[in-house]
Amino acid sequence: MKNTFGQSLTVTVYGESHGSAVGAVIDGISPGIKIDSDYIDKKLAMRRPTGLISTGRVETDEYEFLSGVYNGYTTGTPLNITIKNSNTRSGDYDNLEVVPRPSHADFTANQKYGGYQDYRGGGHFSGRVTAGIVLAGAIISSALEKKGIKIGTHIKTLHGVADAEFSDYEKDIEKLNARHFPALCEEKEDAMKNEILKARENLDSVGGVLESAIIGLPCGLGEPWFDSVESVLSHILFSVPGIKGVEFGSGFQFADMYGSEANDAFIYDGESVRTKTNNNGGINGGITNSMPITVRCAVKPTPSIAKAQYTLNTSTLKEEKLVIKGRHDPAIIHRARAVVDACLAIAVADLLTMRYGTDYLGR
């Protein structure tokens, strides 16, 4: 519902890039989830910019619980976690109202909110708001991990550079969650970073594809119409700025396959029923089948580039050369990884809460 995701466990995000705070409210979270500040800090760090591959705007990300936590555990009542903004340079964004940045939300926000929006730094559309998602996701995923449900994301490709494939999901997820740059292969990491630095030198930006895996989910989550697992996950993923494509399992590759190649035969591995292949990415008919969920997100190149661009002055209706001031990310895909992980955790928690009830995650 608007700025709220979920049905049984819901997350609302609030805040503007240059307003006083950003954060999230979680409603319907189980009581009894331990707040692990080291874990939360680790997740925030994955999203935080570092070095030349990211923006120079560094926020300290000091969060505070306004409600819903007592004695180090979730209480079960609405949990409001907030980060005060700092290190904002509003002057950088003075003319966005009139000269909208290409491929940003400046123009559409103005159309939607009739000029009342806080346009500074993208306002509520800013990637800054994803800090609230990462916080909510961190609290939730720490509870999921206790149930053996693990989520990991790597950069599958970045402007032509392809990472290694997932081989052992459990180990690969563990490895990814220990690394600041989300590549499985260290050589590929260097090649990817070089692509980013090259884009930076050219005052440009690059995108790529993120690939995530979720393991440990029970069978039977999701609904046939219209809350298939793909529907629920894509819903939250497509709200992440820059994500313009989502595919599950073999995704767009299915288009060139025969049914006999695409079908995943059921087998028994001595312990449980699974499928021989996983072209369906762990989901049959919209319902989890206990195989790993695999999902890929196309992330477009950061629209804020340092290079001069031509766009429209919506006041004069004349073309205008625009040089975006402020600090830019030559790529956001490595930081978006933390947001994608958080989104997946939130969506999965909602599905689990609906199926098993409001106390499930805290038990």
Site for a second copy in 16-45 (CB under 8 A): 16, 19-23, 25, 27-28, 31-32
Question: Residues in contact with a second copy, total (CB under 8 A)?
Answer: 154
| The only residue of 205, 213, 293, 361 in contact with a second copy, by rule CB under 8 A | 205
189 binds a second copy (CB under 8 A): no
Q: Quote the least distance from Cβ 338 to a second copy, whole Å.
A: 16
C-beta of 174: minimal distance to a second copy in Å? 26
Going from the C-alpha of 93 to that of each of 43, 56, 96, 106, 335, the distances in angstroms are 29, 16, 6, 11, 22
323 lines the binding site for a second copy (CB under 8 A): no
Per-residue x/- marks for a second copy, 287-316, CB under 8 A? xxx--------xxxxxxxx-x-xxxx-x--
Q: What part of residues 51-70 is at the interface with a second copy (CB under 8 A)? A: 64-68, 70
What is the length of the chain? 363
**Taking CB under 8 A as the criterion, which residues in 226-265 touch a second copy?**
226-228, 230-232, 234-236, 238-239, 241, 243-265
**Torsion sign across C-alpha atoms 243, 329, 103, 138:** positive
Is there binding between residue 49 and a second copy (CB under 8 A)?
A: no
Report the side by side order of strands in the sheet with 4-5: 4-5, 10-15, 21-27, 79-84, 63-67
Are 139 and 79 in contact by the 8 Å Cβ rule? The answer is yes
Say how many Å lie between the first and final Cα of the chain, rounded. Answer: 28
For a second copy, the closer of residues 16 and 341 by Cβ is: 16
Pairing mode of beta strands 208-215, 150-158: antiparallel
For residue 91, state whether it binds a second copy (rule: CB under 8 A): no
Nearer to a second copy, 24 or 177 (CB): 24
Within 8 A by CB and 6+ apart from 353, the residues are 8, 9, 28, 30, 360, 361
